[in-house]
Structure 1
Amino acid sequence: MTAQTQTAARGAMPVGALETLPPDQARLVRYLRLWCDGPDGQAALWNELATRMGPTEGRACLSAFEAAVGMLLRHSRRPLMRHHLECSCVGADEAVFAEFFTAAATGEREDAMMLAVLLVHPAMLMPLVDAAQQAGLRLRRGAPQAPLHDRQPLTMTRH
C-alpha cells in the first residue's frame, strides 16, 4: 500500500455514527454524499432543498453548496473519502467536513480555517471558508427548526 493510499484510507476510517451527530451535521454529511454520488444524487439534493425552502431559495442554496463542495473537491489535498449514502458510519473526512462547514456557517472563521487546512491546500483556505459560510447561511435560513450550530457534548464511544 502506497503512502497516498494509506492517507486516503485514513480519510475513510469510521470515526462516528450518523445518529450520534447533531442533526445539522448529519444533514451535511448526507448532502455531501448525495452531491458526490453524481447527477442522480444532485437531483435528489435539489428536490430536498426545493421542498424544504421553496424553488428560489432552494436553487440559491444548491448553487452555494455546489460552489463550496466544488472548490473543496477541486483543491483537496488528496481525494476526499466518503461512505455510501446509506452507511450509518461517519468517516474521518466526512466528520471534518461537517465540523468545518458548521464552523464556517456560524462565523467561527479561525476554527473553520484550522479544519479546512486538513482538507485543502493553504492558498484555498479563505475562499473555501467564504463559500462554506455563504452556503451554510442559506441552509440555516432554510431550516430554522434545526440550526446549523447546535453543538452538544459528544460522548466518547467506540464501535
Structure 2
Amino acid sequence: MSAPAARGGATVGRLSDLSPVEAGAVMYLRLWGDGMQTRMDAAQDFQIALGTDQGRAAMLTLDRLCSLCAHHGRRPLIRHGLGCVCLGADENCFAQMIAAASEGAREDAMMMASLIVRPDFAPALAALSEELGLALRRMTVSIPMPTPRHQNPTATLH
C-alpha cells in the first residue's frame, strides 16, 4: 500500500480532461513552481504566442498570481511534476479559478480564490486570474498549449 497523497495532491483527473485554458493554467503553474529556468521557458512561451509586450505582461501576471498563492496561501499548493499527466486537487482548483475568471464568472472565481488564499487576498487573486485566463485564451487561438520540457521529481508530488 502506498502512502496517502498530501492534502491537495490527490489525483482528481488527467490534464487531457481539461480545456486548453485550464490545462495551460496548470502547466504554467508547474513551470513557475519548478524554478528559474522553467520560468524563463514560460516567459518565452508567452512572448512567442502574444508578442513582446503582451508576453511580458502575461508573465508578470503569472508571477504575481503565483507569488500571491505562495506568500498568502492557506497552505502550500501541491503540484504534480511537469511531465505528469495527472491532475491534482489543488491544480484543478487553480485551473477552474483561472477558467471561471476568464469567462467573466467573477463570483465563482472569488469562491475558488478564497479556497487558495486568505480571504483578504481573494479579490486580488481573482482579478489576476482573469488577466491570466484572458492571456491564455488569446494563446489558444495562436499556438497549442505548452508541453512539459523539464522534470524535477524532488519538488513535486509525481
The one of 63, 83, 86 equivalent to 2:83 is 86
* TM-score of the aligned structures, taking structure 1 as reference length: 0.82
* TM-score of the aligned structures, taking structure 2 as reference length: 0.82
Say yes or no: does 1:114 pair with 2:111.
yes
Say yes or no: does 1:69 pair with 2:101.
no
Q: What amino acid is the match of 1:41?
A: T
Cα distance in 1 for partners of 2:39, 2:134 equals 20
Residue 13 (structure 2) aligns with: 16
Q: Is the 8 A contact 2:100 2:106 kept in 1?
A: yes
Structure 1's unaligned 5+ residue stretches are 1-5, 147-159
The one of 29, 32, 39 equivalent to 1:32 is 29
Cα distance in 2 for partners of 1:131, 1:94 equals 16
Q: Deviations over 1:49-102 (max 9, x none)?
A: 111112221111111121112112111000110000000000000000000111
Cα distance in 2 for partners of 1:11, 1:95 equals 9
Say yes or no: does 1:45 pair with 2:57.
no
Equivalent residues in 2 for 1:132-147, closer than 5 Å: 132-144=129-141
The one of 96, 101, 104 equivalent to 1:104 is 101
Cα drift, residue 143 of structure 1: 3.2
SS at 1:12 equivalent: coil
Structure 2's unaligned 5+ residue stretches are 144-158
Cα distance in 2 for partners of 1:133, 1:23 equals 15
Cα distance in 1 for partners of 2:115, 2:36 equals 27
